[in-house]
Chains A and B, each alone.
Chain A
Amino acid sequence: AQRVTQPEKLLSVFKGAPVELKCNYSYSGSPELFWYVQYSRQRLQLLLRHISRESIKGFTADLNKGETSFHLKKPFAQEEDSAMYYCALIRGSYIPTFGRGTSLIVHP
């Protein structure tokens, strides 16, 4: 079965500090992993997908198959990054699996 774990419910940092939101997954095949972001009371939006290997809004995420992780990183957090972040595993079944989400708060 697919499972996605986001160990931190809340991550609080100051502006300019580095940020790392953790995501671990369990899946026996080759995963497709995504990060979604939800700003206050808005819809979830796709932030990153691992196959594109791009940087969006300064965020990057690298798939580490050995550690089964897909952590989201940004070197210098901004206040506008405050949001809910969800890691998702989409592969091998019709059912996308989401983690429980991490709320990122960036203080001025």
Chain B
Amino acid sequence: NAGVTQTPKFQVLKTGQSMTLQCAQDMNHNSMYWYRQDPGMGLRLIYYSASEGTTDKGEVPNGYNVSRLNKREFSLRLESAAPSQTSVYFCASSARDGESPLHFGNGTRLTVT
């Protein structure tokens, strides 16, 4: 039982490049989330998926897109990376919408130069 698995662990991009962060969970959870973590800002929600087939914007969605590929997988795409997107990205999942504790992945440390 791996829990929440994120890939890659580290990535360096140049401004304007694109990439997709992958996230998969094996706990049969309904809800999945993408957060970014910045010093002094805590965790800010980018996008979430309350259930398979649905996605919604969080607090800081600009510059990102998501895909809930199936119940297990929830990917985050940066179409044209900017230095302001340098951050640590965490994927999380929970059993039920808004009522269960979140389980987090190990994070992706992204640097945009």
With a CB–CB cut-off of 8 A, which chain B residues contact A32?
A: 99
**Interface extent on A, as a size class?**
20 to 34
A94–B93 Cα distance when bound, in Å, is 12
Q: Given the known inter-chain contacts A42-B106, A43-B90, please indicate yes or no for A90 contacting B42, CB distance below 8 A.
A: no
**Cβ-closest chain B residue relative to A92:** B98
* Most interface-central of A34, A43, A92, A98 (chain B CB within 10 A): A43
With a CB–CB cut-off of 8 A, which chain B residues contact A100?
A: 40-42
- Interface check A45, CB cutoff 8 A: yes
A15–B53 Cα distance when bound, in Å, is 49
B29 to chain A, nearest CB (A): 13
**Interface extent on B, as a size class?**
20 to 34
With a CB–CB cut-off of 8 A, which chain B residues contact A92?
A: 98
Residues 20-34 of A, flagged 1 when their CB comes within 8 A of B and 0 if not, give 000000000000101
With a CB–CB cut-off of 8 A, which chain A residues contact B100?
A: 90
With a CB–CB cut-off of 8 A, which chain A residues contact B35?
A: 98
- Interface check A56, CB cutoff 8 A: no
Q: Given the known inter-chain contacts A86-B43, A94-B50, A96-B33, please indicate yes or no for A44 contacting B104, CB distance below 8 A.
A: yes
- Interface check A64, CB cutoff 8 A: no
- Interface check B56, CB cutoff 8 A: yes
B33 to chain A, nearest CB (A): 7
B99 A43 Cβ-Cβ under 8 A: no
With a CB–CB cut-off of 8 A, which chain B residues contact A91?
A: 98-99
With a CB–CB cut-off of 8 A, which chain A residues contact B4?
A: 43
B residues adjacent to A (C-beta < 8 A) = 4, 31, 33, 35, 40-43, 45, 48, 50, 56, 58, 90, 92, 94, 97-107
A residues adjacent to B (C-beta < 8 A) = 6, 9, 32, 34, 36, 42-46, 49, 86, 88, 90-96, 98-101
